[in-house]
Structure formats: structure tokens, C-alpha cells
Amino acid sequence: MSSIEITVIDREGVETPGVDWEDDESLMECLVRNSFPILAICGGNASCSTCHSFLDQVSFVTAGEIDEDEADVLDSLNDSEREPTSRLTCQIAWDTDLAGAVVRIGPF
């Protein structure tokens, strides 16, 4: 089992460094296990948007392509909710290159 550390910023702006992300988890599963307020209602199927969060710019590029299902869900968000680095965290796979990522939890 390998893990990396990321920083998470919650909806109140509180920053938590050193959050452990294990290699068998999606980013959503990491956030849920670490008790961040991610509902993940659809269970990671890219259909609910309750795992929506923002990545730092470098990690957004590292995380790779957004597939069609995720793009459809992101397109359904209000303009006020979506940002250029919006992602569904359930669609982000663990990657050593994401060590040090800064993840800001999206609005409800």
C-alpha cells in the first residue's frame, strides 16, 4: 500500500495539509474517509456532482482528461459553481504525481 499527501480546503476556507490519500482510492474516497463533507450520493458513478471540487492548476493538468460522462455533469452546474479547474473527485484516480495537490471542496 502506498499513499501520498494532499492539502484540502473546506467550504469555510480551513486548510488541512498532510491529508493521506491511499493508492486504492479515488480522490472522492480519500475525502470521504478523511471525514470531509463530500456526500458522493451516486457512489462514484459521475452522475450526481456532490463530489465536485476544485484542483490547483498543476494538479488539474496532471489529473488528465475529463471523459464524456463527467463533462456532462460539470456542464450541468451553474456558472457560479463551476470554475476552470472543476472536477468530479470520484473520477480522479490516485497518482504519485498528484502528491501535494491542493483540493478545494466545491459548493453544495
Residues that bind ligand FES (CB under 6 A): 28, 40-42, 44-51, 73, 88, 90
Give the nearer residue to ligand FES in terms of CB position, either 9 or 88: 88
2 exposed, middle or buried (CB, 10 Å; 0-12, 13-18, 19+)? exposed
**What phi and psi, each to the nearest 5 degrees, are found at residue 28?**
-60, -45
Q: How far is CA 68 from CA 27, 33, 65, in A?
A: 19, 27, 10
Residues linked to residue 105 through DSSP beta bridges, in sequence order: 53
Q: How far is the CB of 23 from ligand FES (least distance, A)?
A: 19
Beta strands in 10-58 (DSSP E): 15-22, 52-55
Give the nearer residue to ligand FES in terms of CB position, either 43 or 100: 43
Give the nearer residue to ligand FES in terms of CB position, either 17 or 71: 71
Q: How far is the CB of 18 from ligand FES (least distance, A)?
A: 24
Give the nearer residue to ligand FES in terms of CB position, either 41 or 93: 41
Q: How far is the CB of 43 from ligand FES (least distance, A)?
A: 6
